[in-house]
Structure formats: structure tokens, C-alpha cells
Amino acid sequence: MERRTEARNPRARGLSSMSTREILELLNDEDATVPAAVRRALPEIERAVELVVASLAKGGHLFYVGAGTSGRLGVLDASEMPPTFGVDPEMVTGIIAGGDHALRMSIEGAEDKPLGIRDLSPRFRPGDVVVGISASGRAPYVVDAVANAKADLHAAATIAITFNATSELARAADVAIVVDVGPEILAGSSRMKAGTATKLILNMLSTTAMVKLGRTRDDLMVDLRPTNAKLRERAIRMVAAEAAVPADEAERRLERWGWHVRAAIEDRWPGA
């Protein structure tokens, strides 16, 4: 049976003969269907978030495991957590088949080796959570990590993000987030709609988890690390607005508290 992620999209017939505008409109129309497809998976995403929050609240860690585009998206989301939410860099970790070199260069054969659990093991602790990401749901590297995380590493939970409901990955996980985005405009190129959906889901998982863990003040990133001029300006604006003080006083507070936004708003160190 042809996998949904490999099927040809009938709307793309004659793609090579289309004008530039026609191709762009077709791509845009197809991309516009992705959020609705993700929305249909909200019950599973909700369950996944609750499992992640339960683990992190007890000092656990979150691991994304993927290959190719899926792996790169996992590493991207993980890398954004420390500057955005001020968490320890090891709280959320992205692991990609082929190692860091695969972030820049395509190492397609890496996903065929069932070595996910090997790469996961050195950093994993009982009670951590594993999220396996594979568009087809059949990448041996990813399936290996998810299928063996509970038995070998005593994971608190395993989660799958995939676009194939009947895949090994979907069957192996405690919670399977399965999204049907339909065939890609370029047959089998899951970096497109499947990649977009993966990014949306990862945004939901990590952002909602951090909000539930108290790493924001409503919609404000009060635990961000203002490490450049843009972020320092943002920090000053947040403190000025939340503490109802002029910008110069906000900056003085930030300097007094080592540019810790939450502390500057409250004018005291957290926990004091």
C-alpha cells in the first residue's frame, strides 16, 4: 500500500508547465490546509503536553529524536528554550540521526540505522520524555529510540509525531500525534507540508509546557535571556509596562538584577 506521505498530489499535475505565480499560489493554497489538519490532532497534542509538563515539573527532561528535516526541527525547537524561557540547556534536547554534522549536510542513510537508543542513552534519566519525529513513521533510527525508551531507559512517556497512522512509530508510542496533511506538491518531499505541521506541533508542545510550568507572565517572556540589543530593548519595555515605571527606571532595575526581567518587574530576586 502506498504511504500517504509518498502519494502524488493530483493538483500538482503539470507543475513544470505552470507559471511562477501559479506555482506560488498552489504552494500557498496547500500550506493553508496545514493548520486545520493540525487542529484535528489537538486531543493527542494535549495529552502529550500534559505528559511533558508532569515530567519537567519533577525535574525530568524532554528529548526530541528525529532524522533529516524532522531531526533539524527538533534541534531547532530545543535550542530556542534557554534564550526564550531561561531554562537549563539540558532541559530540552534535540537528537538528530548522523549527529551535529547532519544539521548542515544531508546524511540520508543515517536514519536507516537503528541507533536512536544508543544516542539517547548517555543523556537520558528515568522519568524523562522522548518525542520521536518521523513523517513516514518508519525511520529505524527514530523507531528504535521510541520503542526501547521505556524498557531500556524507564521513560515517563513516549510520544510520536508522524503523518502515517499505521506506522511502527505510531504503534510504539504512548501518545501518537498523527496529522494527515495529504500528499505533498513534490511527491514524497515531507520537508514541505509535513515539515510545516511538525514545526507547528513542536511550537505547541514546548510553548504550552513552558506556560504551564510558569515560565511566562501571561503572554510575556519574563524569563528570557536578553543577550543582544533587541532583547535588552524588549526587556526594558516589559519591565516598564508591567512595573508601571519609566524606561530609565526599568533599565536601572534590570541592571540591578542582572537583566533578569521577572526579578526587575517584582524588584526582588525570585524566591527571595
21-44 residue pLDDT tens: 999 999 999 999 999 999 999 999
Q: SS3 string of 256-267?
A: HCCCCHHHHHHC
What is the pTM (predicted TM-score) of this model? 0.92
pLDDT at position 161 over 50: yes
Q: Which of 6, 46, 50, 80 is catalytic?
A: 80
Is domain 217-272 in CATH 1.10.8.1080, yes or no?
yes
Locate the domains of the chain by residue range.
6-212, 217-272
Verify whether residue 80 is a known catalytic residue. yes
Query: What count of other Cβ atoms lies within 10 Å of the Cβ of residue 203?
Result: 14
Average pLDDT over residues 72-84: 97
CATH label, 6-212, candidates 3.40.50.300, 3.40.50.10490, 3.30.70.20, 3.30.499.10: 3.40.50.10490
* C-beta separation of 60 from 129 below 8 A: yes
Mean pLDDT of the chain: 94
- Tell me how far apart the alpha carbons of residues 244 and 212 are, in angstroms, rounded to a whole number: 26
- For position 1, what pLDDT does the model report? 47
Q: At 103, is the pLDDT very low, low, confident or very high (cuts 50, 70, 90)?
A: confident
Residues of the chain with pLDDT > 90, as a percent, come to 86
- Helix 193-212 and helix 42-57, axial crossing angle in degrees, nearest 10: 40
Residues 6+ apart with CB under 8 A from 210: 81, 84, 85, 87, 216
Q: Which of 30, 111, 251, 266 is catalytic?
A: 111
**Cell match 500517504: residue?**
4
Verify whether residue 111 is a known catalytic residue. yes
